[in-house]
Structure 1
Amino acid sequence: MNKQIFIQRKKNYLYDNFKVYWIIFLSFSLLLIGCIAVCIGSVNIPILELIGIIYDKIFGYHNSNTNFDVIIFKIRIPRVLLAGIVGFALAMSGATYQGLFRNNLADPYLIGVASGAGLGATIIIVSPLPIYFGIINVLPFGAFLGAISCVMLAYFISYKSNSLTLTTLLLAGIAISSICGAITALLMIGSDPDIRPVLSWLFGSFTSARMEHVILVLIYVIPSFLIILGFSRYINILQLGEDHAMLLGVNIEYVKKALIVSASLATAGAVSFCGLIGFVGLIAPHMVRLIWGTDYRYLIPLSSLVGAIFLILADLIARTILGSSELPVGLVTAFCGGPFFLFVLRYQMRYRFK
């Protein structure tokens, strides 16, 4: 008996180490892909030149190529960093909602974040007020307030139904999303005939990325990630059902509140600066689940890293595939997401009938 316990513990130790090694590998892959994305664009920069310029910048040496300086530090690095952080946040929130709702089709926009952000951004765009007050862009703040307001309203409706049940929260989120979507469409129809700015935001873009945006998004994403990672073992327990989790001593209401608030804040902060980007929060957790299993202690960080890599690559395709012009990054993720889920469906059907 003791020998069997020892063998099982050794297997668990090797299993955990295997996942940790993959987290380290994906972290280095993210760094490498980020450097490649900074190098590629309308003006290609040799990677050795990039390393030299960054080295000179860090240690205060004067670099003669000021054109590359502007491209790298004012345009490319903020854009790649923002794409990576947004992908990280969306994948993390998607994995969290899938575990919390015990539904692999749950995504970060499940309880009204996307529709609320879209409505908030649309109100700012179609209103006669200027989008910029001095150097301050109010569009992200409008989107963030819209997203958080919808989540809070869904939460309030669910709470007023005597308990914070996930089913009630989901239904409230769907209802609020429908109402916000209808109001957004009405505003678009009744506004200026040129609705391209609204459509551009709704499909997502990193064109206006700046380092200030990166810092603001990190303020939401880092604490949310730490909280969600700390609660990841409770997400594992929730897969047994709420009744079993309560019998094991889990404070269900507290865990649900912490996870919903953290995931919603991360998602709202992410989409407020880049618009609505679909499929990232679905593709990354599914991919990780197929390859590395369903232990949320590792599924959440692995999904987050995969989401960051995926969105950096999607943005790279969006800004280079047409040459001089640029596609909305949401179109690229949609083109990738559709075939991926057809593959997952085929895989699951084959597995089920074997």
Structure 2
Amino acid sequence: MTFRTRSILACAGCLLLAVLCASVAIGQAAAPAAAPAASAGTRLGLIVAPARIRPGRAAIVHVVDTAGRGGVAARLCARSGARSAGCREVRLKRGQVKLRTRVRLPRAGRWTVTLRRAQEATTLRRSVQVTPGARHRVLVTGDSMVYGIIDVLERTVRRSGGVLKGDPHPGSGITKPFLLKWPAHARQSAREEKPDATVVFLGAAVDTFPLVVGGEKVDCCGSMWIAEYVRRLREMMRAYLRDGSALVYWVLLPAPREADRVTSHRAINSAILRAAATFPDGIRAVDIGPAISPGGIYRNQAMYRGKLKVIREPDGIHLANAGIHLATEVIERVMRRDAMVR
């Protein structure tokens, strides 16, 4: 029995359990907190990721204007004890919302990167660990859709000097806490693994159970259901952002073959985009649709490395080997823009 066969069988078993447990009430989580990239008292947000690099390398610094207007300047500094990597002004032009820059950290130690506007008392601080053997960490998590992506992306991350941890949970979903409480799991994973980047591919495993809103169950996939799904997504995204020390790559679902899944896939993708948009920076919604299902239309084959290849499994949901490679190439392109892979 192959690894993929085992994973699909595991997924089928989890789906059966989900049907048996559908009557279990789904509790509500706490209200979402403010976006982590910005702090109270400042209109700027700061992300420094990866938060572990080798001496002489540059830390990647993401600055965002949470007001969305631009025309703002701040002082960016880096210090480790008595050592300083210097300070300089960073300026977002009028209309410019985001800026990415680099700060070279010459020696080993725990460095603190700070950002402060002259008009504000609040100083944003992010910690960077500089060690000779530093390897940035990438977490790949989700339902059974991540199995092949873990294997393919791991090779690229390793070549880029990082280490990848796979965290698949086949058959699980945000609407199925009787299988896995995803918001709580995200907080635990972020705390224990401390990833510099997290890739999430979740929602394809019939993630359409009712959600509790105002004490009542709401069926998929209307506006109230989507709003509650967004709330739970935000909890997860906030956890994986790690207070501005990480980036999150959330993969949108490709079009399914079965017509009865189209509405739910669109609702979940809409929720992902809405949740990501509530954060000033740090969440990348990765659309693999143009490579896997262009125009939102399911297709079984596509050109891969000059040949027509099968890209979907017979179930009409999972990605076949060529589809896994196509999807991973899209994810890698987005991560490469953030210097997370080379």
Alignment TM-score, normalising by the size of structure 2: 0.23
Looking at secondary structure, tell me which structure has more strand per residue: 2
More helix by share: 1
Question: TM-score normalized by structure 1?
Answer: 0.22
